[in-house]
Structure 1
Amino acid sequence: MRILVTGGAGFIGSEYVRMLLGVPGGDAVGVPAVEPSVVTVLDKLTYSGNLGNLAVVRDDPRLRFVRGDICDPVLVDEVVAGHDVVVHFAAESHVDRSIVGAGPFVTTNVLGTQTLLDAALRHGVARFVHVSTDEVYGSIEQGSWTEEWPLSPRSPYSASKAGSDLLALAYHRTHGMDVVLTRCSNNYGPYQFPEKVVPLFVTNLLDGGTVPLYGDGGNVRDWLHVHDHCRGIAMVQDKGRAGEVYHIGGGTELTNKELTARLLEACGAGWERVVPVADRKGHDRRYSLNIDKIKTELGYAPSIPLDDGLARTVRWYRDNRAWWEPLKTPAPVAVG
């Protein structure tokens, strides 16, 4: 099987590549026995793409790397040809950056996805896995979203992802393409660029610095270790039904203040290191995914408890300063 992974040098995409090539980031419980003959990574290597994320599989003869933009139709056509599966991670993904400037998000997330879908259709790709986010639903006060919930994005980032989701599903309904779609909750783990909340807080605390907490700290998120996310994607790639959406969650909801407390404890720091900052524009109050569908159909369940996953993550950043210290100059933007 020849698998193309877009954005495969990024945080989540590189975990998927390492998993495909047999170097899992955690316990490989429930990972389908996918044995690719070729794994091609297509990545533009923007600020959050890093070839260092693939260092442990760099010498695997099955790995092929192509530097390029998913919005380049000529390059995409050449790269997609001959692949059996496309797993599409490549995206602009930071909400704060999308508020400052939405253009790159629309271009990459919508037009880039359309370029990939066109090439996959043209070359008869057997399966197209589109990786998305719970943020496309907006905010939910109580209960949890099912896969049939109407989309109601509230940031330029989530609106661009919602647009790409609808395009992917439209190619299934219009052309009969085998498209499956996943939506995940908040990811954390090793190799995450230090603009997102967990690595930003951990690296600041390890350096003796302070951490910013938006508003009253009451915004609620479900936390999902990146390895569990990739396990779920592998299950969807392997057995998911064409034209369907599958939620992948971690099963632990925390307010941002509760998450901050856990990170302070893990890093041996106190609340004097926390600096309240003005809330983000349009900050969604709560996200919550119902994951019954992927549990029932595919047997998914998160395998890494949050406290264990956070401890592993803190250890990884403590032991891998050479990876993250260069990324913090200049300092990344505020919390994601």
Structure 2
Amino acid sequence: MTEMQNAEPLLEVRNLKRHFPVDDGFFVQSQKSVKAVDGVDLSIAPGEALGLVGESGCGKSTLGRNIVRLDKPTAGEICFEGVDIAPMGDRELKPYRRQIQIIFQNPFSSLNPRLTVGNMLMEPLMLHGEGNRAERRQKVLELLELVGLGADHFDRYPHEFSGGQRQRLGIARALALRPKLVVCDEPVSALDVSIQSQIINLLRDLQEEFQLSYLFISHDLSVVEHMCDRVAVMYLGRIVEIASAKALYEKTFHPYTRALLSALPVPDPTVETEEIILEGSVPSPVNPPPGCHFSTRCPFATPACSESTPELREFEPGHFVRCSRLEEIL
């Protein structure tokens, strides 16, 4: 873990923002916007798995899509191997497309139903000019073996597969060009529990074999603990806490992270746990609270919390927290 922290980052995101304009009508020009991602800073080292957790609607998937550049950020930098890809157009992005890939959440809608498995997996190879048809076919057969599917699946269509098999195909497609970074956008949330463990183990094996870096987006904190080296907690478009997985699960500082972890089920019925119930609902990203976004639900909030925006600061070595009252709370 120490070697990863000291290594030059593969990906570095600086003050990234993605605001979506709100349409008030055909003849009305709205000044409002949905602040889905509102000033995110994070980095991923080569070979590292960074978990990204938070409630639904906090901006996790939007951040992932911006990093892959399926969506263009409103502001900020996305530095991949020292090069800012945020302002690039499609032509400039092409060499980086093969280095950054994504595994989508829903294996039933992320595959083209009109293409056979072979054609679907050969398509990215063809677009990037890899070999002739025979060589591409051989690479696809190797990919299928790699993700636990045989050569007999080459001419089948996506509807002929189960959910777990479809997600294996999604993983094979993401690995077709041998990327360095893979964004996993809740890759197991749509699968049965028994299949989830198979896909997680496959992702871990592939990471070790190809030295992949992962941005692992999930709302399941137990999966993230098993899968990731570090964990970033996101709330209403901002990172509120980031640390190594071991440090975060052993010593949680931010009140929001504490509430998330308290909701984890404990398998031992003799162990008593206290669940922290947050009052109210998540504020609208169109009109987030001033100052600390969590102040409207935080049990420790004071009027001063809504007056200034707290910085993400290093409270312990490698453990960053966004809270201006942290010392008082502790």
Q: TM-score, normalised by structure 2?
A: 0.33
Choose between structure 1 and 2: higher helix proportion. 1
1 or 2, which has the higher strand percentage? 2
Normalised by the size of structure 1, how large is the TM-score?
0.33
Structure having the higher Rg: 2
